[in-house]
Structure formats: structure tokens, C-alpha cells
Amino acid sequence: MANVRHIQYEELQSEEDWQYFVGDVFESADLQYEAFSMVENEPLYDPQIHLKFTEPDFVVLLNNNFQQVKYISTDRNDKYPLAYTAPFRILSDEGYSVLKAIIKREFVNCQGDLRQPNYIQSIGYRSQWIKDFNRCPVVRDYLSKLCGEPLMVTTLKSTYSHTNIGLVDPDKGVDQWHTDSVPFVIIILTCDMTNTVGGELQLIEREKQEASKLISQYNGNVPDEYVKNIEFDGPGSVIFMQGCAVQHRVKPVMAGTEPRITVVNSYMSRNPFAIEKTRYDTFRMEPTTNYEFTLHKSWRAREQLKALLMYNKKWPTKDELIKRLNLVIKELVDCRDLLDGTATDALGYYSTDSKQMRMYDGDYRVEKKVLNLNET
């Protein structure tokens, strides 16, 4: 590991005027991985039937110590550093019913690992409805308005509607302290928590490095004064969050009459010069990640070149051209080195078992576990 290059994306930030460009929405040949097949006889996704938006009462900003401000709907794209929103709604009652039925069907594909005991991945390869919902331009544009930044769905199709399942287990958190390996997420509560004890979504309202120090200082048991419980507003409610910038976890479910289920859709900036916040290491054990991440880096490189082709502000100097070409080359070199193991972009997570940060290493283990709905 001594010779492995650790990629620190945050160090790549620059404020050149040409480093803002709204790229085309990611599209690819959409190959179907051989181990997965689409389920037939699903309802056709229809945004006019399956969507019904409400607005959050407030948004919380990353700056000024997580300042809470009233959300005011506007057609302007006023970018601000979003931390998270108050609960709101995206799905209609019919859309929520379809989503919940698909997730129940997907219980047979449940996996578990050392960070998350029960989750479902790669639903976008098995459900056309889920794929269309994640890629829906109506949802994409609404979320872009909420954060003032043009967004698109993540390039990692295996993470479409990643589903976390919390069963009653006082000794195991539904998810441990971590920051996300994708930029933005919506978290859809897909259960009724009226009779649930525990299972709270918590975050630390501190800059993520400071939050990480608190987690280590208190061995994961961060005092309540630093921790914020995030409240949903019933089944189908949504929290929009820049999860890559905020340490968060889900506490153990102590009691309940049904599983605690959340569905997570991931989004990213359409600016190909935005600081890279999609990580390879976290997902590298998924069978589709190598191809998906290569497509991701290819999109960034292509759109950076397109920005050069479309640039019309001033004649670039030779040094500026070299800098821009080096950025494109670095996207592809980083991708190659991550794939062949000579570089890492590992974030890791806090393990309550070992009381320290842990990487997604060879002992991380991913196991199949079919969940019986009647038993759960």
C-alpha cells in the first residue's frame, strides 16, 4: 500500500472563469449487465401520475454554522452551499405505492456488509420504473432549483434507488457514521415509523473534518449537543442532502412493527469541473462499478473538452491550454490508476466494532441474505 497514490480531490479546486460549464446530461449505451434482467409487467413510469411535489419549509446551509433559512421558491439559479432540507414530497400516493411494491419485491436481493447490515443495490438493472424515476428530468430540474445548481442523476447506475433496511437489532446501527461517496442524495422514507423506536437519521452540524474528529474523540458516541436528529414527515416524505459534506448515520432500531426502509437516489453536478465527489473505492466490490466509473470519468473528460470547444470569453494562452488539457488527462489517468489499484480514493467509515475508521477492504464482505417479509 506504500506505493499507492491517494487521490485528494479537494486539492484540485481552482477558480478559473472557464471552470464552470453546464455539461450535457450523461447518457450512454445503457448496457445491461448479464447477471441482471429487467422484471416484466411493471407499471410504466409516468411523471404526471407518479409525481406530486411539495416544497420544504426551510433549507440548512453548510456555511455560517449550518444556518437554517426559509426556502423561497424561485426560478433563478442562486447557488448556495446546501447541507440538507426540511422534509418535502416528490411522489404522489400512486408513485409511492409503486415504489414500495418494487422495494418489497426486491427484498430477495438484500445484501449485508460491515457498515450496513441490510441493503439492496443495483435495482436500476432490474426495474425499468426505478431507472426512469432516477433519470426523470422533472425530478432533476426540481432538485436543481432547490440547490441552485444544475444536477443530473449519478453516473453509477448500480446505486439507483439504493435501499437501506433497518430491522430490530439494538446492537447494530442501520448505517454507521460516514460521508457519502456521491454528491447529493434524496432520502425517501418508504415505511411507516409511527410504532418505531430508534432508527433516527442523525448528522453532525460541523464541517466534515471537524465532525470526523468528534467521532474519533468520543469513539462514535458523539454527545447530543453536537448531533442533530433529522425528522421525516411520514411515509413518502423526502430529505434532500449534500451527504458528501456532512457526517451522518442511522441509529439501531430498538422496536417496531415493520422494517425501517429508506430509498436513496443520488445526483451530481452537471459542471464537469466541479470537485470530484463520486468515489470508486466505496463501490468497487459491485460487479458493475468498473464500467460505470469508467463511464463517469469519460463523461467528465468529454465535457471538459467540450467546454474548451465552446469557450468564447478570451483567447487562451498556451499555459492555459496546457492546464486544461492536463485536467482532462488527469481524469483518465485517475480512472486507470483506480481500476488497476495503483491509486485509491478511499473515504472509509467509522466502525463501531473496532472504534476507528475502517476502509472498504478485503474483509469488508458482502453477503446475500434473503429477507422474509413475514419474519421481518
Q: How far is CA 172 from CA 117, 203, 240, 355, 370, in A?
A: 8, 17, 25, 14, 18
Predicted pLDDT at 278: 97
Q: In whole angstroms, what is the distance from residue 287 CA to residue 269 CA?
A: 25
- pTM, two decimals, is 0.94
Q: Say whether pLDDT at 364 is over 80.
A: no
Q: Say whether pLDDT at 230 is over 80.
A: yes
Spatial strand order of the sheet with 227-230 comes to: 175-178, 248-250, 201-204, 227-230
Predicted pLDDT at 16: 78
Amino acid identity for residue 27 in this structure: E
Alpha helices in the chain (DSSP H): 47-50, 63-66, 93-105, 128-135, 137-147, 208-217, 289-310, 318-340
Q: Convert the pLDDT of each residue in 24-39 to its tens digit.
A: 999 888 889 999 999 9
Q: Convert the pLDDT of each residue in 42-95 to its tens digit.
A: 999 999 999 999 999 999 999 768 999 998 776 545 567 899 999 999 999 999
Gyration radius from the chain CA atoms? 20
Q: Convert the pLDDT of each residue in 284-341 to its tens digit.
A: 999 999 999 999 999 999 999 999 999 988 999 999 999 999 999 999 999 999 999 9
Predicted pLDDT at 11: 53
- Provide the 3-class DSSP secondary structure of residue 221: coil
Instruction: State the first-to-last Cα distance of the chain, in angstroms, to the nearest integer.
Output: 41
Number of neighbouring beta carbons within 10 Å of residue 75: 5
Q: Which of 99, 68, 102 is nearest to 84 (CA)?
A: 68
Q: Which of 161, 186, 164, 175 is nearest to 243 (CA)?
A: 186
Average the pLDDT over 162-169 and give the result.
96
76-79 long-range Cβ contacts below 8 angstroms, 24+ apart: 76/148, 77/144, 77/145, 77/148, 77/149, 77/150, 78/148, 79/147, 79/148, 79/149
Binned at pLDDT 50, 70 and 90, residue 185 comes out as: very high
Binned at pLDDT 50, 70 and 90, residue 357 comes out as: confident
Pairing status of strand 343-344 against strand 5-6: parallel
Lowest mean pLDDT among 101-105, 188-192, 214-218, 353-357: 353-357
Q: In whole angstroms, what is the distance from residue 199 CA to residue 251 CA?
A: 5
Look-up of cell digits 468520543: 218
**In contact, 58 and 86? CB cutoff 8 Å:** yes
Number of neighbouring beta carbons within 10 Å of residue 175: 20
- Residue 139 or residue 348, greater confidence: 139
What's the burial of 376, exposed, middle or buried (CB within 10 Å: 0-12/13-18/19+)?
middle
Predicted pLDDT at 369: 60
Q: Convert the pLDDT of each residue in 186-222 to its tens digit.
A: 999 999 999 999 999 999 999 999 999 999 999 999 9
Q: Say whether pLDDT at 142 is over 80.
A: yes
